[in-house]
């Protein structure tokens, strides 16, 4: 009898106060199993339900080597497809299958993708402060740690403006003033260039909070500061406006964090309207579609900059890194360095103990180990000590509102 899938399990854990979802696929060969990331923090129970109630019964008894066939079958078996819940569930399975294949071959995943294109993976991390001055301090601290590419934010997404002119009895939410936000970011960029010249690369995340015409003007104003890229200048529903931005400015553009569906990126890549594709790999269905996206983007001169937030397991971060190190069109990789103190600890002692083998960051580069497969495992007993709960899901920052109370995308 050949190798077949005997069980599919879901492991939920929140070691740093962020709900994480791991898939573990076990085979009839006792020591042969694979792990994958299926984290959709804000709807994690929905993902768990899909895996346990629908994907597990389908996968039991299947040959884990047939990754492409299993991926295509799962993508179509619900009929309606390409949504974040189903895609994250599928991604966890897909990554675990690739992990098994790498272990069967006795090779790290990147070797199955054709081998290394570089010895280290250039990465950027986040410098954010309540004020311009505080952000500058954090940029300097990261520079001293070896980072040469840094995402800079001031006052959080959309900025913080204590002088908002609100109506009576305002609805609850995270209010922001787009005009004040843009002015504050431009002030920050001016001071950064005065301080560092062109010795550092800076990027900035608008987080889709601007109206299309404001995004056009903002990108034009930022051109003088020679950014690495401006991220998510538009929401996915308004990507046609990238044509207008492209016609008026040479500011490099990154997009894709919220994409689920190839139709969302096909046109903006093929028309060369962006410079970096920034999808969340589990959001699009895992390694199998991500490899196809790499090749598609490479044909049009678009580079990768995979989404790398804290609400993602180290298994998912390692998958990003395997794609990065083997892709000729890698641009840069996002990495949430624990040193900033702004976010939960991605690479601290607890995460390293719970997910042994996770990538290491040194002097602005990421490095993988050479273990077979993805190279990261999960300590299930330790994971049990940090259970997921709905109370950890924070909605505040996602309830974005304009000064008059209008709800907008977060």
Residues serving a catalytic function are 157, 207
CA angle 258, 263, 309 (to 5 degrees): 20
Region of 61 on the Ramachandran plot (φ > 0 left; ψ -120 to 50 alpha; else beta): left
Would you give the distance in Å from CA 264 to the centre of its chain? 17
Contact 278, 254 (CB under 8 A): yes
Instruction: With CA atoms as reference, report the closest residue to 327 among 358, 350, 293.
Output: 293
Residue partners of 18: CB distance under 8 A and separation at least 6 = 41, 310, 311, 344, 392
DSSP of 341-386 = SSS--SSSHHHHHHSTT--EEETTEEE----SBT-----HHHHHTS
343-to-229, 238, 242 alpha-carbon distances in Å: 22, 29, 30
Instruction: With CA atoms as reference, report the closest residue to 354 among 344, 343, 363, 340.
Output: 344
Q: How many CA atoms lie within 13 A of 73 on its CB side?
A: 12
CA angle 189, 191, 197 (to 5 degrees): 85
284-to-91, 154, 171, 259, 270 alpha-carbon distances in Å: 8, 30, 34, 7, 18
Residue partners of 8: CB distance under 8 A and separation at least 6 = 23, 24, 25, 26, 51, 52, 55, 56, 59, 60, 93
């Amino acid at each position: 009898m050949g190798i077949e899938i005997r069980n599919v399990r879901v492991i939920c854990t929140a070691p740093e106060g962020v709900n994480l979802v791991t898939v573990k696929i076990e085979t009839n060969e006792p020591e042969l199993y694979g792990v994958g990331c299926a984290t959709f923090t804000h709807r994690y129970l929905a993902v768990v339900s899909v895996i346990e109630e629908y994907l597990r019964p389908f996968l039991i008894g299947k040959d884990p080597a047939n990754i492409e066939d299993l991926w295509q079958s799962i993508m179509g078996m619900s009929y309606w497809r390409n949504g974040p819940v189903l895609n994250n569930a599928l991604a966890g399975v897909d990554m675990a299958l690739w992990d098994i294949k790498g272990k069967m071959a006795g090779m790290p995943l990147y070797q199955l993708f054709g081998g290394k294109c570089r010895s280290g993976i250039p990465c950027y991390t986040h410098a954010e402060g309540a004020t311009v001055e505080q952000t500058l301090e954090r940029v300097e601290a990261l520079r001293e740690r070896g980072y040469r590419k840094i995402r800079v934010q001031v006052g959080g997404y959309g900025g913080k403006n204590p002088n908002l002119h609100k109506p009576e009895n305002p609805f609850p939410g995270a209010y922001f003033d787009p005009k004040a936000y843009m002015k504050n970011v431009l002030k920050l960029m001016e001071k950064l260039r005065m301080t560092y010249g062109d010795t550092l690369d800076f990027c900035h995340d608008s987080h889709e909070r601007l109206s299309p015409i404001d995004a056009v003007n903002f990108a034009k104003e930022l051109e003088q500061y020679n950014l690495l890229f401006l991220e998510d200048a538009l929401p996915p529903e308004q990507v046609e406006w990238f044509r207008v931005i492209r016609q008026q400015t040479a500011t490099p553009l990154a997009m894709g964090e919220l994409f689920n569906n190839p139709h969302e990126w096909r046109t903006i890549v093929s028309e060369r309207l962006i410079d970096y594709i920034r999808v969340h790999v589990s959001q699009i269905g895992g390694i199998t579609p991500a490899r196809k996206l790499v090749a598609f983007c490479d044909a049009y001169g678009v580079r990768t900059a995979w989404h790398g937030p804290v609400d993602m397991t180290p298994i998912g971060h390692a998958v990003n890194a395997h794609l990065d190190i083997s892709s000729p069109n890698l641009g840069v990789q996002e990495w949430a360095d624990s040193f900033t103190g702004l976010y939960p600890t991605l690479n601290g002692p607890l995460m390293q103990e719970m997910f042994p083998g996770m990538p290491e960051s040194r002097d602005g580069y990421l490095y993988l180990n050479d273990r077979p497969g993805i190279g990261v495992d999960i300590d299930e007993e330790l994971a049990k000590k940090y259970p997921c709960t709905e109370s950890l899901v924070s909605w505040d920052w996602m309830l974005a509102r304009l000064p008059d109370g209008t709800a907008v995308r977060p």
